[in-house]
C-alpha cells in the first residue's frame, strides 16, 4: 500500500487494478505504426512534458476482468493526446460487446487521478484521516467517491489518495459500458491514433580522403516519444511518405493498409520494407522500448560506401516565369558574393525524408562536421542534393555589362560578367547557374565559356578558378517575343 501526497504533483498516486471491472495492458502484444514528423518539439533535447505533435496508430491487447451482464469498465494507461472519434475496442472471442465508450482526458492538476477512475481509493485529509473510501467516480475540481453502501461523497479539500497495488494507470483513461455473456477474464484488442510519437530519418556521411568523392553512409531512424506514456516491448512499423491529415484538432483516423511491394531486409538486423498504399513501410526486426521523453535510434539500412559529387555553386535567380516580357532595365541586377558548397548522392534505395550530417577528416584524421541539410523523400536511383555551407575561400561578383531593347523588333539583349576568386591553395571548379527570367523565350548569343547545361529556365557553366587566382565569365542572352506576348496599353 502506497500513499503519495497531493503537493508533489498536484497529486500523484499508485493504483490497484482491482475492483468490479479492471483492465491492464499486455506488455508483449503492442504494435505501433509511426508516421514521419519533423516537429522540432518532438526531438528537442531540452524540452519537458508531453508534445501534441506527431502521429501514430496503436494496437494493443488488454486483459479485462468482466462481470456478467451490463457494467462499466475503465481502461487506463492511455497517452495524453488521443482522437476520441477513432478509439476502437473489440473482443476477438465474441463474449462481450461495447455499448458505449467515453474518453476521460488527463488534464489539469488532478491529471494523475484520471487513471484511477473506477478503482477503489481511500481519500485522506491533512492529518491522515480518511475522508472517503470507495470507488472513484470522477477526478476533477473534486473527487467523487461512492462507498460500498451506495452513498456518494464529493471531496473538495484533501491531502492524498491511497490505493493498493503496484501498477498505476497513467495518462488518459477509457470508460466503457460493456455487456458480457459471462464473468471472468477475457482479451480485448484496443486500437487508437495518438500524438506525441513520430519518427524521421537521420543520415551521416563521412567523406573519404582522395580526389574522387566517396563517402561512408549511415542510415538510422530517430524515434521520438513525448506521448506521456512509456512503451515496452513494442513492435514498430515506420511509415515513409506524406499522408493527408484532415483534422487540425486531433490525430486523424486510422488508414486502410494495402500491401504490394515487398523487399527483403538486407540482414536479420535490418527493418523489413513493404508498401502501404502509396507509401513505404519499415518494420523493425525486434521489439523495442520507447520510454516517455526519449529519442531512440535504430538502424534503417546497413552502412555502405557510396560515390558522391561535390560542387561549389554560384546561383542567381530561380525558375520564375513572368506573365509577359520584363523590359525594366534594373530587373535582376545580380546576386551576392557567396558560393555554396553542395553534396549530391544517388539513392541506393528509397530514402525517407530526414537530415544528413556530413563529416570529413582533418589533417589529424579526426572527423569534423562540415554541414547538414535536409533530404526529402528520394526514390531509388534518383539524386539527392544538400547545401553544406558557404565556401570560405571562394567569392563571386556579378555585374550587368550590357542591356538594350528593340521594342519594334520584339527583342532584348542582356549581358553579365561574373568575376570568381579563389584564395585557397588548390584550384577549384565553380558551377555558375543562371536563370534568364525576363521572358521564357531566350537564346545564348555569346559566352566566354561553353555552357555545361542549358534548359528552358537554366544556363549553367563550369568554370576553373586557379589557386590564389581569379577567373572571369562573360555571357549574353537575347530575349524575343510576339505582339500577343506583350500587349501594349
Q: What is the pLDDT averaged over residues 125-138?
A: 89
CA distance 305 to 348: 10
Answer yes or no: are the C-beta atoms of 159 and 125 closer than 8 Å: yes
Which is more confidently placed, 378 or 26?
378
Listed residue (154, 234, 171) closest to 15, CA to CA: 171
Q: Look at residue 407 in the predicted model and tell me its pLDDT.
A: 87
Judge contact between 15 and 119, C-beta under 8 A: yes
Q: Confirm if 159 and 123 have CB atoms less than 8 A apart.
A: no
- Which of residues 176 and 2 earns the better pLDDT score? 176
Residues 80-97: tens digit of each pLDDT: 788 778 888 889 888 899
Nearest to 237 by CA among 286, 278, 196, 188: 286
Q: Where does the pLDDT of residue 236 fall: very low under 50, low under 70, confident under 90, or very high at 90 and above?
A: very high
Per-residue pLDDT tens digits for 446-457? 999 999 999 999
Instruction: Give burial (CB, 10 Å; 0-12/13-18/19+) of 347.
Output: middle
Q: Which three cell numbers stand for residue 454?
A: 542549358
Longest Cα–Cα distance in the chain: 101
Report whether 226 contacts 44 (CB < 8 A): no
Tell me which of 1.10.3470, 3.30.300, 2.60.40, 1.10.8 is the CATH number of domain 317-347+382-480.
2.60.40
Residue written as cell 558522391? 308
pLDDT tens digits, 342-388: 999 999 999 999 999 999 999 999 999 999 999 999 999 999 999 99
Average pLDDT for residues 327-351, to the nearest whole number?
89
HEC letters along the chain: CEEEEHHHCCCCCCCCCCCCCEEEECHHHCEEEEEECCCHHHHCCCCCCCCCCCEEEEEEEEEEEECCEEEEEEEEEECCCECHHHCEEECCCCCEEEEEEEEECCCCCCHHHHHHCCCEEEEECCCCCEEEEEEEEEECCCEEEECCCCCEEEECCCCEEEECCCCCCCEEEEEEEEEECCCEEEEEEEEEEECCEEEEEEEEEEECCCCCCEEEEEEEEEEEECCCCCEEEEEEEEEECCCCCCCCCCCCCCCCCCCCCEECCCCCCCCEEEEECCEEEEECCCCEEECCCEEEEEEEEEEEEEEEEEEEEEEECCCCCCCCCCCCCCCCCCCCCEEEEEEEEECCCCECCEEEEEEEECCCCCEEEEEEEEECCECCCCEEEEEEEEEEEEEEEEEEEEEEEECCCCEEEEEEEEEEEECCCCCEEEEEEECCCCCCCEEEEEECCCCCEEECCEEEEEEEECCCEEEEEEEEEEEECCCCCCCCC
Read off the pLDDT of each residue in 163-190 and give the average, rounded to a whole number: 80
Out of 5-9, 269-273, 310-314, pick the least confident. 5-9
* Mean pLDDT along residues 135-140: 82
Question: Which pLDDT score is estimated for 489?
Answer: 53
Q: How far apart are CA 123 and CA 424, in angstroms?
A: 76
Give how far Cα 407 sits from Cα of 271, 325, 437, Å: 63, 11, 18
Query: In this structure, what C-alpha cell is assigned to residue 304?
Result: 555502405
Residue 277 in this model has a pLDDT that exceeds 90:
no
| Contact of 215 with 207, CB cutoff 8 Å | yes
Instruction: Phi first, then psi: give them for residue 43, nearest 5 degrees.
Output: -100, 0
The Cβ of residue 408 has, within 10 Å, a number of other Cβ atoms equal to: 6
Whether the Cβ atoms of residue 345 and residue 205 lie closer than 8 Å to each other:
yes
Does residue 202 carry a pLDDT above 80? Answer: yes
Question: Average pLDDT, stretch 274-285?
Answer: 89
Whole-angstrom distance, CA of residue 456 vs CA of residue 268: 48
Percentage above 70 pLDDT, the chain = 84
The pairing of strands 231-240 and 214-225 is: unpaired
d(CA 437, CA 479): 10
pLDDT band per the 50, 70, 90 thresholds, residue 21 = very low
Residues of the chain with CATH 2.60.40: 317-347+382-480
Please state, in angstroms and rounded to a whole number, the distance separating the CA atoms of residues 358 and 232. 33
CA distances from 375 to 35, 199, 313, 385, 451 (A): 17, 14, 18, 7, 28
pLDDT > 50? residue 260: no
| Least trusted range by pLDDT, from 25-34, 205-214, 420-429, 479-488 | 25-34
The Cα–Cα gap between 137 and 157 comes to: 16
Q: What is the pLDDT of residues 109-123, one digit of tens each?
A: 555 676 677 778 899
Predicted confidence band of residue 318 (pLDDT cuts 50, 70, 90): confident
d(CA 311, CA 339): 10
The pLDDT of residue 469: 97
Residue with the bigger pLDDT between 165 and 381: it is 381
Question: How much is the average pLDDT of 17-36?
Answer: 60
User: Which of these, 253, 235, 234, 233, lies nearest to 243 by C-alpha position?
Assistant: 253
Asked if the model's pLDDT at residue 194 lies above 70, the reply is yes
Q: Is the pLDDT of residue 3 over 80?
A: no
Q: What is the mean pLDDT of the chain?
A: 84
Lowest mean pLDDT among 83-92, 221-230, 249-258, 267-276: 249-258
The pLDDT of residue 332 is 73
Point out the least confidently predicted range of 16-25, 159-168, 172-181, 359-368.
Answer: 16-25
Amino acid at each position: 500500500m502506497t500513499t503519495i501526497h497531493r503537493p508533489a504533483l498536484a497529486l500523484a498516486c499508485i493504483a490497484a487494478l482491482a475492483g468490479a471491472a479492471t483492465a491492464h495492458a499486455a506488455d508483449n502484444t503492442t504494435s505501433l505504426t509511426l508516421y514521419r514528423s519533423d516537429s522540432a518539439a518532438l526531438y528537442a533535447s531540452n524540452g519537458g512534458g508531453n508534445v501534441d505533435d506527431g502521429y501514430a496508430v496503436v494496437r494493443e491487447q488488454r486483459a479485462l476482468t468482466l462481470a456478467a451482464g451490463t457494467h462499466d469498465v475503465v481502461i487506463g494507461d492511455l497517452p495524453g493526446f488521443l482522437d476520441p472519434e477513432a478509439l476502437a475496442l473489440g473482443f476477438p472471442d465474441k463474449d462481450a460487446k461495447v455499448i458505449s465508450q467515453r474518453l476521460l482526458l488527463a488534464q489539469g492538476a488532478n491529471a494523475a487521478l484520471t487513471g484511477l477512475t473506477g478503482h477503489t481509493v481511500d481519500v485522506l485529509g491533512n492529518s491522515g484521516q480518511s475522508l472517503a473510501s470507495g470507488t472513484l467516480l470522477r477526478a476533477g475540481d473534486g473527487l467523487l467517491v461512492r462507498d460500498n453502501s451506495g452513498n456518494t461523497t464529493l471531496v473538495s479539500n484533501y491531502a492524498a489518495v491511497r490505493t493498493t497495488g503496484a501498477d498505476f494507470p497513467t495518462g488518459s483513461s477509457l470508460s466503457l459500458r460493456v455487456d458480457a455473456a459471462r464473468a471472468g477474464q477475457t482479451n480485448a484488442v484496443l486500437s487508437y491514433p495518438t500524438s506525441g510519437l513520430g519518427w524521421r530519418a537521420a543520415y551521416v556521411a563521412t567523406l573519404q580522403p582522395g580526389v574522387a568523392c566517396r563517402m561512408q553512409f549511415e542510415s538510422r531512424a530517430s524515434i521520438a516519444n513525448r506521448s506521456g506514456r512509456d512503451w515496452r516491448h513494442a513492435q514498430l512499423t515506420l511509415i515513409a511518405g506524406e499522408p493527408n491529415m484532415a483534422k487540425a484538432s486531433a490525430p486523424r483516423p486510422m488508414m486502410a493498409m494495402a500491401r504490394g511491394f515487398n523487399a527483403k531486409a538486407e540482414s536479420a538486423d535490418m527493418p523489413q520494407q513493404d508498401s502501404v498504399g502509396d507509401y513505404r513501410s519499415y518494420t523493425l526486426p525486434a521489439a523495442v522500448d520507447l520510454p516517455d521523453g526519449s529519442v531512440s535510434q535504430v538502424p534503417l539500412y546497413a552502412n555502405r560506401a557510396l560515390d558522391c559529387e561535390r560542387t561549389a555553386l554560384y546561383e542567381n535567380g530561380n525558375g520564375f516565369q513572368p506573365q509577359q516580357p520584363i523590359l525594366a532595365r534594373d530587373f535582376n541586377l545580380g546576386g551576392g558574393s557567396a558560393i555554396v558548397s553542395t553534396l549530391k548522392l544517388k539513392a541506393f534505395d528509397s530514402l525517407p525524408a530526414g537530415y544528413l550530417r556530413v563529416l570529413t577528416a582533418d589533417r589529424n584524421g579526426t572527423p569534423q562536421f562540415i554541414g547538414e541539410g535536409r533530404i526529402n523523400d528520394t526514390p531509388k536511383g534518383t539524386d539527392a542534393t544538400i547545401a553544406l555551407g558557404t565556401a570560405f575561400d571562394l567569392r563571386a561578383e556579378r555585374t550587368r555589362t550590357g542591356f538594350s531593347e528593340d521594342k519594334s523588333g520584339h527583342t532584348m539583349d542582356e549581358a553579365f560578367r561574373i568575376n570568381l576568386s579563389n584564395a585557397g591553395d588548390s584550384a577549384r571548379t565553380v558551377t555558375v547557374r543562371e536563370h534568364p527570367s525576363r521572358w521564357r523565350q531566350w537564346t545564348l548569343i555569346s559566352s566566354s565559356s561553353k555552357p555545361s547545361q542549358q534548359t528552358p529556365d537554366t544556363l549553367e557553366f563550369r568554370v576553373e578558378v586557379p589557386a590564389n587566382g581569379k577567373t572571369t565569365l562573360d555571357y549574353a542572352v537575347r530575349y524575343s517575343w510576339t505582339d500577343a506576348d506583350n500587349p501594349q496599353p
